[in-house]
Amino acid sequence: FITLGGVLYKITRKGTADIPLKLFGKEQQGHVLVVDRHSVFRSLAEKAGFTLQLCWSHILDDAKGLERDFGREGRYVQRKLKLIFADAASLHHEGTEEQVQKLKKRVEKLMTRHYQHKTVWKFVKNLVKRDLENIFIFVTHPDVDPTVENVTRNTPHMTADLPPPQMRTLISPFT
């Protein structure tokens, strides 16, 4: 888990929201978690009251996998998302709600295309139907980063049962 003051890794057999819920408590309205798209974070946000900012590095990495695995279709999605993210980031946390709505419309437009590969379609559908409200929080919030990587760059790390790097999932609460 990442806070403004440090990072703590705790690994358990079950990937549930129980441990972070005990750590953070249930009164987290107004706080933002910068996380990957793992379902445990949705559960944590719902139970504790957090707002989620889904990590754009993870979104773009997943889209890059679509490009690798599904060729032209995946490349189309990956290219469009890169452009949308670049435009969102260019607002430097000073965007308006109107600009956020325009960015969301651009993501929604990805659903108007016919995709032959079910995996590409499911990725786009989930991004629009499930994740859309949680991908542009950083545009209007000066203290929220668009990626987990930005958060961890200069944060001291504390370790408890440190997993291999590919197993680490980070949470970043901001007020």
pLDDT digits (tens, 9 = 90+) for 6-37: 555 566 666 677 777 777 778 778 888 888 88
Q: Are 152 and 8 in contact (CB under 8 A)?
A: no
N residues, the chain: 175
How many percent of the chain have pLDDT more than 70? 77
pTM here is 0.79
For 25-75, the pLDDT digits (tens) are 787 788 888 888 888 888 888 888 889 999 999 999 999 999 999 999 999
Contact 56, 135 (CB under 8 A): yes
**Residue 55 burial (CB count, 10 A):** 26
Burial class (CB in 10 A: 0-12, 13-18, 19+), 45: buried
Q: End-to-end CA distance of the chain, in Å?
A: 15
Distance of alpha carbon 84 from alpha carbon 127, whole angstroms: 13
Is the predicted pLDDT of residue 2 greater than 60, yes or no? no
Q: What is the mean pLDDT of the chain?
A: 82
